[in-house]
């Protein structure tokens, strides 16, 4: 049986806003998720109002606002949703008499997204919007852009909404399928090697814990990354105009590298990103090859194997709806430590760093300390702490698995699907999503600091170089 908002809350004003939700919506930190659906056909006849109504209005947080009760506790309050106030169709016009081209629409699109992403949603309405871009760009015949306040939920919840709303383009009656959320290396290990690795991990656990926990605390409080071509170090960088850019890789090629090196898909993605970033930084400023840069990697803390439908997430009050995320720091290897002629080592270094974080007690303890900080000092103090943690690092990486099959909405096939984040106090935000056998890497870059076209070129070059090297290693006797 489908739950509606009133059944979920029990009464109009009841459900408290989670501590994480309060943290993500205040004067220190205000984050948004932007999701993009790129259609292969024009969307002039897409019944957007009825589609949005069916997709969102059965979800409690899409029909509620945050208000303070008599004790000052933030709670979700159900309100009447006027869909016309949440759906926007921008008009792109040129000031001169020059003919309108796809390139000009690309620029209009980029400028519009940058402006829209930085605007805060009004607190008097549910915290989401749908932007209907009916103009053809170089990537799509039409685009829907969903803007969700992060307090509503995280990327996993967004995928649940997609899973519940869209259909397979080839067989609408069949459910969409997703790649496994559990990553594992493809090469089986001998029992003796497995035992030795586990013993080594156990013996080194105290040192690893103290080292990782202490480093994370320092990175969140006292130590900040160097100023580099990807980090200006200025205040309020989250309010600067940004540019969105994309580069796409074949999942088959990513899996080929994964198999050749005996690592995970996430290791390959992270290694490619790190290598491309270092090549870009060295090109802009040679001295930056040895400067300190750290990535803040976002991780899902749910103990689940696959996506759930929205209604399954909402069955219990302590279900999987909400912001069940954490983060950990990963150093971007320096070109001084790894020669530029040995790019595969960037993946091996990423593999070692990520595996160490996953096996360490430090990230869960950091999460518990954040909860304690919120309980003792309140959401505002926690928001300042997280804002400072982000600002002191150089970039943020978030990875979400998308559908394997092509999606469609009201028989309109979707050729591209990606997301990004806004409100992050960093000059470089990288998001990764798989869809239809392709892996899309999206960058949101401070347009005054970063040459996004050059960065995209180096990310693509890093992928090609690493793939070539991994094939050569596999074919070497």
| 204, 101: one domain | no
**Percent of the chain beyond pLDDT 70?**
82
Residue span of the structural domain in which 147 resides: 5-168
| Cα distance between residue 7 and residue 314, in whole Å | 10
Per-residue model confidence as pLDDT tens digits over 16-73: 888 788 888 888 899 999 999 999 999 999 999 999 999 899 888 899 998 888 777 7
| 229, 302: one domain | yes
| Cα distance between residue 344 and residue 338, in whole Å | 9
Query: What is the predicted pLDDT for the residue at 305?
Result: 66
* CA nearest neighbour of 21 among 64, 58, 54, 56: 64
**Percent of the chain beyond pLDDT 90?**
48
| 53, 141: one domain | yes
Query: What is the predicted pLDDT for the residue at 109?
Result: 94
* CA nearest neighbour of 411 among 176, 175, 166: 166
| Cα distance between residue 418 and residue 314, in whole Å | 25
Query: What is the predicted pLDDT for the residue at 209?
Result: 47
Work out the pLDDT band at 353, boundaries 50, 70, 90: confident
* CA nearest neighbour of 446 among 422, 423, 426: 426
Element holding 346 (H helix, E strand): helix 344-359
Query: What is the predicted pLDDT for the residue at 477?
Result: 57
Rounded mean pLDDT, 414-442: 95
Work out the pLDDT band at 394, boundaries 50, 70, 90: very high
Rounded mean pLDDT, 294-298: 91
Higher pLDDT, 116 or 317: 116
Work out the pLDDT band at 415, boundaries 50, 70, 90: very high
Per-residue model confidence as pLDDT tens digits over 124-182: 999 999 999 999 999 999 999 999 999 998 888 887 887 788 999 999 988 888 876 44
Does residue 176 lie within any of the structural domains? no
| 86, 207: one domain | no
Whole-model pTM?
A: 0.88
Question: For position 102, which CATH number holds?
Answer: 3.30.559.10
The one-character DSSP state at 147 is: E
Query: What is the predicted pLDDT for the residue at 473?
Result: 77
Query: What is the predicted pLDDT for the residue at 295?
Result: 93
Question: For position 257, which CATH number holds?
Answer: 3.30.559.30
Per-residue model confidence as pLDDT tens digits over 325-351: 888 888 898 887 776 668 888 898 888
Query: What is the predicted pLDDT for the residue at 101?
Result: 79
Q: Is the pLDDT assigned to residue 11 strictly greater than 70?
A: no
Does residue 146 lie within any of the structural domains? yes
Does residue 180 lie within any of the structural domains? no
Per-residue model confidence as pLDDT tens digits over 225-259: 999 999 998 888 999 999 999 999 999 999 999 99
Does residue 407 lie within any of the structural domains? no
Q: Is the pLDDT assigned to residue 318 strictly greater than 60?
A: no
| 297, 364: one domain | yes
Work out the pLDDT band at 216, boundaries 50, 70, 90: low
Assess contact for 456 and 443: CB atoms under 8 A.
yes
| 144, 196: one domain | no
DSSP 220-266: HHT--PPPBTTB---TTGGGS-EEEEEEEEEHHHHHHHHHHHT--HH
Q: Is the pLDDT assigned to residue 384 strictly greater than 70?
A: yes
Mean pLDDT of the chain: 84
Which region holds residue 406: left if phi is over 0, alpha if psi is between -120 and 50, else beta? beta
Query: What is the predicted pLDDT for the residue at 309?
Result: 75
| 141, 231: one domain | no
Work out the pLDDT band at 440, boundaries 50, 70, 90: very high
Higher pLDDT, 304 or 1: 304
Does residue 393 lie within any of the structural domains? yes
Rounded mean pLDDT, 418-426: 95
Overall domain count for the chain = 2
| 124, 206: one domain | no
Does residue 175 lie within any of the structural domains? no
Q: Is the pLDDT assigned to residue 312 strictly greater than 80?
A: no
Does residue 140 lie within any of the structural domains? yes
Output b/e per residue, 297-323; b: 16+ Cβ within 10 A: bbbbeeeeeebbebebbbeeeeebbbb
Rounded mean pLDDT, 289-314: 81
Bridge partners, 444 (sequence order): 244, 429
| Cα distance between residue 73 and residue 428, in whole Å | 34
Does residue 183 lie within any of the structural domains? no
Mean pLDDT lowest for which of 63-72, 203-212, 435-444? Answer: 203-212
| 217, 275: one domain | yes
| Cα distance between residue 3 and residue 246, in whole Å | 38
| 369, 452: one domain | yes
| 93, 230: one domain | no
| 198, 157: one domain | no
Q: Is the pLDDT assigned to residue 196 strictly greater than 60?
A: no
Query: What is the predicted pLDDT for the residue at 203?
Result: 45
Element holding 370 (H helix, E strand): helix 362-377
């Amino acid at each position: 049986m489908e739950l509606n908002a009133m059944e979920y809350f029990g009464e109009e004003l009841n459900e408290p806003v989670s501590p994480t939700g309060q943290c993500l919506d205040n004067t220190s930190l205000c984050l948004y998720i932007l999701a993009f659906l790129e259609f292969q056909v024009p969307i002039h006849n897409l019944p957007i109002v009825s589609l949005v109504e069916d997709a969102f209005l059965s979800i409690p947080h899409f029909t509620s606002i945050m208000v303070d009760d008599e004790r000052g506790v933030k709670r979700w309050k159900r309100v009447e949703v006027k869909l016309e106030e949440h759906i926007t169709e921008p008009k792109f016009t040129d000031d001169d008499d020059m003919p309108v081209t796809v390139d000009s629409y690309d620029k209009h699109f980029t400028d519009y997204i940058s402006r829209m992403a930085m605007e805060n949603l009004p607190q008097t309405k549910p915290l989401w919007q749908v932007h209907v871009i009916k103009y053809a760009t170089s990537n799509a015949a039409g685009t829907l852009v969903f803007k969700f306040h992060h307090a509503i939920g995280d990327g996993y919840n967004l995928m649940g909404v997609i899973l519940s709303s869209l259909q397979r383009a080839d067989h609408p009656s069949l459910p969409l399928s997703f790649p496994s959320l559990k990553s594992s290396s493809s090469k089986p290990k001998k029992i003796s090697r497995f035992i030795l690795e586990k013993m080594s991990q156990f013996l080194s656990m105290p040192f690893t814990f103290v080292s990782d926990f202490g480093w994370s605390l320092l990175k969140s409080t006292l130590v900040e990354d160097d100023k580099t071509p990807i980090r200006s170090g200025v205040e309020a960088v989250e309010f600067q105009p940004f540019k969105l850019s994309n580069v796409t890789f074949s999942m088959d090629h990513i899996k080929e590298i994964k198999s050749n090196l005996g690592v995970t898909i996430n290791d390959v993605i992270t290694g490619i990103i790190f290598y491309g970033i270092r090549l870009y930084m060295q090109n802009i400023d040679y001295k930056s090859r040895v400067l300190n840069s750290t990535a803040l990697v976002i991780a899902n803390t749910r103990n689940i194997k696959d996506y759930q439908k929205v209604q399954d997430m909402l069955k219990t009050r302590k279900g999987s709806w909400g912001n069940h995320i954490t983060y950990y720091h990963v150093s971007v290897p320096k070109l001084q430590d790894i020669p530029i002629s040995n790019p595969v080592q960037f993946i091996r270094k990423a593999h070692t760093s990520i595996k160490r974080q996953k096996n360490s007690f430090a990230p869960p303890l950091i999460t518990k300390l954040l909860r304690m900080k919120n309980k003792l000092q309140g959401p505002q103090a926690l928001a300042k702490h997280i804002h400072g943690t982000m600002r002191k690092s150089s970039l943020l990486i978030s990875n979400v698995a998308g559908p394997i099959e092509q999606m469609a909405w009201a028989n309109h096939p979707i050729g591209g699907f990606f997301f990004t984040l806004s409100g992050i106090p960093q000059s470089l935000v990288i998001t990764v999503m798989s869809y239809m056998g392709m892996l899309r890497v999206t960058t949101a870059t401070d347009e005054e600091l970063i040459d996004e076209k050059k960065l995209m070129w180096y990310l693509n070059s890093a992928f090609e170089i690493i793939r070539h090297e991994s094939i050569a290693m596999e074919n070497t006797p």
